[in-house]
Amino acid sequence: RLMYMASCSYSRSSVPTTKLFIDGKFVESKSSEWLDIHNPATNEVIGRVPKATQEEMLAAVDSCSRAYHAWSDTSILTRQQVFLRYQQLIKDNIKELAKEITREQGKTLADAEGDVFRGLQVVEHTCSITSLMLGETLPSITKDMDTYTYRLPIGVCAGITPFNFPAMIPLWMFPMGMVCGNTYLLKPSERVPSCAMMLAKLLQDAGAPDGTLNIIHGQHDAVNFICDHPAIKAISFVGSNQAGEYIYERGSKNGKRVQSNMGAKNHGVVMPDANKENTLNQLVGAAFGAAGQRCMALSTAILVGDARGWLPDLVERTKKLRVNAGDQPGADLGPLISPQAKGRVHQLIQSGVDEGATLLLDGRNVKVKGYENGNFVGPTIISNVTSEMKCYKEEIFGPVLVVLEADDLDEAIKIINKNPYGNGTAIFTTNGAVARKYTNEVDVGQIGVNVPIPVPLPMFSFTGSRASFRGDTNFYGKQGIQFYTQIKTVTSQWKAEDATLKSPAVTMPT
Ligand code: NAD
């Protein structure tokens, strides 16, 4: 109740409000429930976001439904032109988008530009829709008979996104869905909604007709609305397991397609034959970049054999990272998203200590001058961790590297395959046979060989597996097109006149 009152106390204040995007218009919500948006570097309230009312959510989905007929019927070249213009507009505005990401999410400006850039690549990929959406044909299946398939849109699709990539993850969703001829309802993370609103404005400027993209805001009610509304045919979700498993089940029960990308625990295996300089730099960057708030953060290292001796070097390199507000020059990592996230990370670090691990580097008391109220945690390294410890089992989602040890590659693979998550992993080695064995035997959906964060470019798909994914068709690439389309198969026979049937054919043709 107190939290509710706190979030409402700004209702008449001067902080900017996030609009809804309904039927081509940016409109103020009539909701009586609003959530505060904070700058994670200061915890100042910098805006408010509404929990959209039922009427507003219905208006948004109705707008998607009304726009669907014309948009799905628009020529594919016209849709391609919209996204060709869109990719240019995103490029022209990359700095502005990045600034907004840093303000609401906290990551460094350079990393925020990367966030936009990786989403932009998906938009560029959608511009190949004229090839991606090709069907199949097979002539002369039998005499005078040909079969061909069309890939067609499925209707209104919806996306629900997390806080950690305010640009990239929405851009995994609505451009892919819309270029196929679907209309789209987006519910961005309530913690970082502004970047999605800027992306919507740019899409409108690129010529997307009114109603083809609608945006609502909120939390559980908005998510339930999406899972239940019969007009919505498919849901793309990215976020935590708690939300993702729920949405997968509720959406599927209602007959919708659901693709759900979820949490992770990504292991980096360091072989003693690896290029040490390169490996340690890659590991430090991938563990602590974005303050560890990436689903593909390399948050767990397994040092194999003599690589165990590299720990002091790893710690020295990590100490050089600079913690600061994301818009400050030279910042390597910014704050965590919220005081709650910071508290949770502190507790997980303490749990490691309590369970007998060694705290080699403790970032809990980091002070950032001028930003004393921010949610900062400095880079932290915990060694002597075992797979039974809480800090190993849980996704920490902070700048914490947990270090395990293994005698050989087999032992490392065993540890990883026992972990429920299958999002990403990397091996560092100069031995091709070792890399081959690893990629063959490790049960993880995305593997890097001397590549610490192996997120595939959009001509491939994002293929996390096991507990990191529910569904059967992945995000973007060919699989993304499959997710957002259905197939219609036509079998036609054009007989010459002299081949006319003389009597009814009552048996199956053989
Ligand atoms: P989150 O699950 O808290 O929120 C994601 C979305 O779900 C938000 O829009 C939120 O409003 C909604 N939501 C939150 N809790 C809900 C609930 N109980 N029921 C219904 N809806 C709910 O996730 P987050 O904290 O914003 O993001 C971090 C998580 O996302 C991490 O676990 C990270 O690994 C994961 N992630 C995964 C990928 C991937 O591709 N696998 C990418 C980015 C982030």
Confidence of residue 502 (pLDDT cuts 50, 70, 90): confident
Confidence of residue 5 (pLDDT cuts 50, 70, 90): very low
CA of 161 to the centre of ligand 1 (A): 7
Catalytic-residue membership of 157: no
Per residue in 456-470, pLDDT (tens digit) is 999 999 999 999 999
Per residue in 54-112, pLDDT (tens digit) is 999 999 999 999 999 999 999 999 999 999 999 999 999 999 999 999 999 999 999 99
In this structure, the answer to whether residues 330 and 286 fall within a common structural domain is yes
In this structure, the residues whose C-beta lies within 6 A of any atom of ligand 1 are: 160-165, 187, 189-190, 219-220, 223, 238-240, 242-243, 246, 261-264, 295, 395, 397, 423, 462, 464, 468
Residue 18 has pLDDT above 60, yes or no: yes
Structural contact between residues 173 and 186, judged by C-beta atoms closer than 8 angstroms? yes
Residue 495 has pLDDT above 60, yes or no: yes
pLDDT for position 14? 84
Residue 351 has pLDDT above 60, yes or no: yes
Q: Tell me 462's DSSP state.
A: B
User: Does any domain span residue 132?
Assistant: yes
Burial class (CB in 10 A: 0-12, 13-18, 19+), 247: buried
The backbone torsions φ and ψ at residue 414, rounded to the nearest 5 degrees and listed phi first, read -60, -45
pLDDT for position 12? 46
Q: Kindly report the CA angle at 461 between 460 and 463, in degrees rounded to 5?
A: 130
Residue 1 has pLDDT above 90, yes or no: no
Give the mean pLDDT of 270-297. 98
Mean residue pLDDT of the chain comes to: 96
- DSSP assignments along 217-241, one per residue: --SHHHHHHHHH-TTEEEEEEES-H
For atom 15 of ligand 1, the residue with the nearest CA is: 243
pLDDT for position 105? 98
CA of 162 to the centre of ligand 1 (A): 4
Give CA 120 to chain center in angstroms: 14
In this structure, the answer to whether residues 167 and 238 fall within a common structural domain is yes
What is the number of domains present in the chain?
2
For atom 13 of ligand 1, the residue with the nearest CA is: 243
- Let me know how long the chain is: 510
d(CA 474, CA 58): 28
In this structure, the answer to whether residues 208 and 73 fall within a common structural domain is yes
Q: Tell me 386's DSSP state.
A: -
User: Does any domain span residue 7?
Assistant: no
Beta-sheet pairing, 257-261 with 232-238: parallel
Range of the domain at 72: 20-262+476-489
Half-sphere exposure of 429 (CA within 13 A, CB side): 22
Note whether ipTM > 0.95 here.
yes
Q: Which one is catalytic: 157, 180, 195, 295?
A: 295
In this structure, the answer to whether residues 279 and 244 fall within a common structural domain is no
d(CA 235, CA 252): 9
User: Does any domain span residue 11?
Assistant: no
Closest ligand 1 atom to Cα of 187: 9
d(CA 479, CA 461): 6
Per residue in 105-150, pLDDT (tens digit) is 999 999 999 999 999 999 999 999 999 999 999 999 998 999 999 9
Residue 2 has pLDDT above 50, yes or no: no
For atom 22 of ligand 1, the residue with the nearest CA is: 243
CA of 297 to the centre of ligand 1 (A): 15
The backbone torsions φ and ψ at residue 503, rounded to the nearest 5 degrees and listed phi first, read -150, 165
Give the mean pLDDT of 181-207. 98
CA of 428 to the centre of ligand 1 (A): 30
Amino acid at 256: K
Beta-carbon contacts of 70 under 8 Å, excluding residues fewer than 6 positions away, are 209
Question: For 269-294, what is the HEC assignment?
Answer: EECCCCCHHHHHHHHHHHHHHHHHCC
In this structure, the answer to whether residues 194 and 282 fall within a common structural domain is no
Nearest to 212 by CA among 238, 188, 243, 177: 177
Structural contact between residues 50 and 34, judged by C-beta atoms closer than 8 angstroms? yes
Give 443 or 4, the one with higher predicted confidence: 443
pLDDT for position 4? 33
pTM: 0.96
In this structure, the answer to whether residues 109 and 141 fall within a common structural domain is yes
Amino acid at 110: A
In this structure, the answer to whether residues 405 and 483 fall within a common structural domain is no
Per residue in 362-403, pLDDT (tens digit) is 999 999 999 999 999 999 999 999 999 999 999 999 999 999
In this structure, the answer to whether residues 90 and 169 fall within a common structural domain is yes
In this structure, the answer to whether residues 188 and 61 fall within a common structural domain is yes
Closest ligand 1 atom to Cα of 337: 25
400: β partners: 380
CA of 466 to the centre of ligand 1 (A): 17
What are the strands, taking DSSP E only, across 354-394?
Answer: 358-361, 380-383
For residue 220, give the CATH number of its domain.
3.40.605.10
In this structure, the answer to whether residues 252 and 360 fall within a common structural domain is no
User: Does any domain span residue 437?
Assistant: yes
Most informative mutation of 223, 240, 474 for ligand 1 (most atoms within 8 A of CB): 240
